[in-house]
């Protein structure tokens, strides 16, 4: 009788141990997740399903907004509460999330305390990412922000990587496909234009803040997509670079006067500054484009890194100004609505327009 009770107890004990091992194994499998390789070649262990994420550094939140996963963002950088950019206009709830640091700087302790599955970051070295990952005990994945020039494939690879991370491969494909199709169509239209080529210039390009007429871009994507001649040849001037194919060039006013471009596009990010510069009168009398009214406003190019959606809107407008024979049938506002709807899932064109007032010609009543 005693032996039988001992046998029963032993069976119960063995069953409990087997159950414990099984549960522990399942828990271990969940904790193991899966490995992905970020753009620097780092192998990072992330959860199978990422339910919460934090974006660090310039432009990262924009990429998450493109992917449609802002509902999974758990915390934000302090600077995100103050910006007026399309991804925050489309996702105003982000401004109300708890912050993980002041300005553009993260607080390691706040990151460690944040209940989140994953950190994604741009413009961060592998060494900093490894150190941060060790300190906060959360996976950190680095993204290559890319551009719409030589770094276009980097952008596409990043969108593909995000599609893999969030199991949104079709979303990534739709974004890359749309960008390619837009660039191809605009280039095709430009090749059929019948106008005499004119030199153009873009001013007011932002870099670590707003700038005026003499802040420009040597490889302005809309010009490159349309094969528009850019007046901003590179002299011996101070340059700043955020990545391959992206150079903000600061020139002297005399250089702009010497170039005297036939058409000027002004980035709305620098409106307050370039409006004051134009009102002073010196540029008004020195630049033919200002005297003839060939000055047009465009959406911000580089506000918290490159605004890809704005550039796709701008290319339609630049085409309509420079090549009406090829773009005369284009409804720029309609195309912009299409872009915002695709990138953010909602039409925010009216809000963006009200804030930036793009796509308008600056009239000069004293034309030649």
Chosen CATH of 33-176 out of 3.30.410.10, 3.40.50.2000, 3.40.800.10, 3.40.50.1980: 3.40.50.1980
CA atoms lying within 13 Å on the CB side of residue 357: 8
Domains of the chain by residue range: 33-176, 196-356
Which pLDDT belongs to residue 284? 83
Which residues have a Cβ under 8 Å from the Cβ of 273 and sit 6 or more positions away?
204, 210, 211, 212, 213
What's the pLDDT at 208?
Answer: 85
Assigned CATH for 196-356 = 3.40.50.1980
pLDDT at 241 > cutoff 90: no
Distances (CA, A) of 8 to 11, 16, 93, 339: 5, 12, 59, 70
Answer with the residue of higher pLDDT: 18 or 231: 231
pLDDT at residue 192, as a whole number: 97
**Taking residues 164-192, what's their average pLDDT?**
98
> Distance between CA 153 and CA 217 in Å, rounded?
20
Return the pLDDT at 26: 39
Query: What is this structure's pTM?
Result: 0.88
3-state helix, strand and coil shares in percent for the chain, rounded to the nearest 5: 50, 15, 35
Q: Return the pLDDT at 246.
A: 57
Split at pLDDT 50, 70, 90, the class of 364 is low
Measured distance CA(332)–CA(359) in Å, rounded: 8
Examine the pLDDT at 27 and tell me if it is beyond 80.
no
Least confident of 107-116, 211-220, 243-252, 253-262: 243-252
Q: What pLDDT is attached to residue 227?
A: 97
Q: Which pLDDT does position 28 carry in this prediction?
A: 41
Among candidate residues 299, 291, 280, 290, the one with its CA nearest the CA of residue 343 = 299
- pLDDT at position 24, please? 43
Percent of the chain with pLDDT over 70: 86
- Per-residue pLDDT of 75-128, as tens digits, reads 999 999 988 999 999 999 999 999 999 988 999 999 999 999 999 999 999 999
Percent of the chain with pLDDT over 90: 80
| CA 339/CA 309 separation, integer angstroms | 6
pLDDT of residue 245: 40
Judge whether 33-176 and 196-356 match in fold.
Answer: yes
Q: Who wins on pLDDT, 263 or 25?
A: 263
pLDDT, residue 285, reads 86
Q: Residue 3: is its pLDDT beyond 50? A: no
Predicted confidence (pLDDT) at residue 19 exceeds the cutoff of 70: no
Averaged pLDDT for residues 331-348: 98
What is the average pLDDT across 27-49?
84
Mean pLDDT of 283-296: 93
């Amino acid at each position: 009788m005693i032996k039988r009770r001992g046998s029963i107890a032993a069976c119960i004990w063995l069953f409990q141990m087997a159950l414990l091992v099984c549960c522990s194994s399942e828990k271990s499998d969940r904790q193991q997740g899966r490995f992905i390789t970020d753009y620097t070649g780092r192998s990072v262990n992330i959860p199978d399903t990422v339910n919460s994420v934090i974006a660090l550094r310039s432009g990262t939140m924009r990429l998450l907004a493109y992917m449609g996963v802002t509902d999974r963002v758990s915390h934000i950088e302090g600077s995100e509460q103050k910006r007026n950019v399309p991804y925050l206009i489309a996702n105003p709830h982000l401004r109300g999330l708890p912050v993980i640091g002041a300005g553009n700087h993260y607080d390691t302790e706040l990151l460690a305390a944040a209940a989140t599955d994953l950190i994604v970051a741009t413009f961060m070295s592998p060494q900093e990412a490894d150190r941060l990952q060790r300190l906060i005990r959360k996976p950190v994945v680095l993204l290559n922000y890319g551009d719409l020039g030589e770094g276009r494939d980097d952008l596409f690879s990043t969108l593909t990587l995000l599609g893999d991370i969030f199991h949104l491969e079709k979303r990534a494909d739709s974004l890359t496909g749309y960008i390619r199709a837009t660039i191809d169509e605009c280039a095709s239209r430009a090749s059929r234009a019948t106008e005499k080529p004119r030199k153009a210039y873009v001013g007011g390009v932002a870099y670590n803040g707003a700038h005026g007429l003499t802040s420009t871009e040597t490889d302005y994507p809309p010009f490159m997509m349309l094969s528009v001649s850019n007046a901003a040849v590179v002299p011996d001037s101070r340059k700043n670079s955020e990545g391959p194919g992206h150079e903000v060039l600061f020139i002297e006013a005399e250089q702009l006067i010497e170039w005297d471009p036939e058409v000027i596009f002004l980035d709305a990010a620098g409106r307050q500054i370039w409006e004051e510069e134009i009102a002073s009168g010196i540029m008004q009398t020195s630049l033919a484009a200002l005297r003839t009214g060939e000055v047009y406003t465009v959406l911000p190019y580089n506000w918290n890194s490159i605004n890809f959606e704005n550039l796709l809107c701008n290319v339609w407008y630049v085409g309509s100004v420079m090549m009406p024979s090829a773009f005369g049938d284009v409804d720029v506002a309609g195309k912009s609505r299409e872009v915002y709807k695709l990138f953010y899932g909602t039409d925010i064109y009216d809000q963006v327009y009200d804030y930036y007032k793009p796509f308008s010609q600056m009239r000069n009543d004293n034309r030649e």
